[in-house]
Structure 1
Amino acid sequence: MAADRVDSVVQYGPPLMLADAKAVAQAAEDYARERGWPMVIAVVDSACQLLLLHRMDQAQLGSIRVSLQKAETAVAFRRPTAVFQDALGQGGSHLRLLAMDNLMPLEGGLPLLCNGAVAGGIGVSGMQSDQDALVALAGAAALTAAQRQPVR
């Protein structure tokens, strides 16, 4: 039965390439810019190594590290950072998450999947966490759209 649980977990895959990271970040920036939201966008590969860090004009400096932590958390735990934010909101034993120094429990981090496996992550910071999440989702959608393009 333990093997069944491992098989159902999203696996780590080959790392995201820089060209894909650029497309993800550009889509995220375009979405943020349309709304007048100054953001910091971080994209990491499947080993949590930074591929791209982009700070839009007037994005708050504190968001640089937060965006990177969101991207790293999404990859390290293979799930959106919103999961941790929601768990903390429930209180009780979930508050133990605050003792972990390797996660950012704020919405705005998403794993980036290629062929169903974690290839990287995006982390966005600069506005309210629900707005950060929308920008991250726009970036992730660009990678999904690129995967649907026919190979030439």
Structure 2
Amino acid sequence: MSTKSMPVLTLQGARTAVAAAEKRAQEIGVPMNIAVVDSSLHLLAFARMDGAKLTSVDIAINKAFTAAGHRAPTSIYKDNVWPGGPAFGINNSNGGRFMTIAGGVPVVQDGVVVGAVGCSTGTPPQDEDVAGKGVEAVVKTFGPKAKL
């Protein structure tokens, strides 16, 4: 067979993620830039909350890009990207878009990465928490076969 059917993150799913992430950002009192990409790494939805850092717009988008493209949360790089680490310099790959700061979380459905949520403005743990709430909302809304 030369083709394969795969689950796809829809615009509705992306909007669900953004809404849940916005809600969590409000709960913790940190306005965020929130980006959602599909499995082909293209932007599906974006929100810049009032007060979110303007310099974090690209960071949020690139966190989502990295999490979807590498099929892993961006937080996994923390201990490996320092000088001498096994992934030192990886942030220069993909035209400088590869993000090694927590806040990018993939959306997995039926064992397939269908996209990712990236958040930026807070601390790395805050960004990851907010992105994670977006992912959780998509998984909860779109089926029990979806998993993190």
**TM-score of the superposition, structure 1-length normalised?**
0.84
Aligned letter for 1:67? A
Distance 1:19 1:41 in 2: 15
For structure 1, the residue ranges without an aligned partner over 5 or more in a row are 1-11
Task: Kindly tell me the number of residue pairs found equivalent between the two proteins.
Answer: 138
Note the alpha carbon deviations across 1:8-27, whole angstroms, 9 max, x for none. Answer: xxxx9433100010011100
Task: Pick closer, same or farther for the CA change 1:108–1:13 going to 2, 3 Å.
Answer: farther
For structure 2, the residue ranges without an aligned partner over 5 or more in a row are none
Note the alpha carbon deviations across 1:112-148, whole angstroms, 9 max, x for none. Answer: 1122211111000011111100001111110111134
- Larger helix proportion of the pair: 1
Distance 1:84 1:146 in 2: 29
2:39 equivalent in structure 1 = 46
The question of whether the paired residues in 2 share the 8 Å contact of 1:14 and 1:46 is answered with no
Deviation at 1:89, TM superposition (A): 4.8
Higher Cα radius of gyration: 1
RMSD across aligned positions (CA): 1.8
Distance 2:136 2:84 in 1: 32
Alignment of 1:3-152 (within 5 A): 13-89=6-82, 91-100=84-93, 101-148=96-143
Distance 1:138 1:119 in 2: 16
1:7 equivalent in structure 2 = none
**TM-score of the superposition, structure 2-length normalised?**
0.86
% same residue: 37
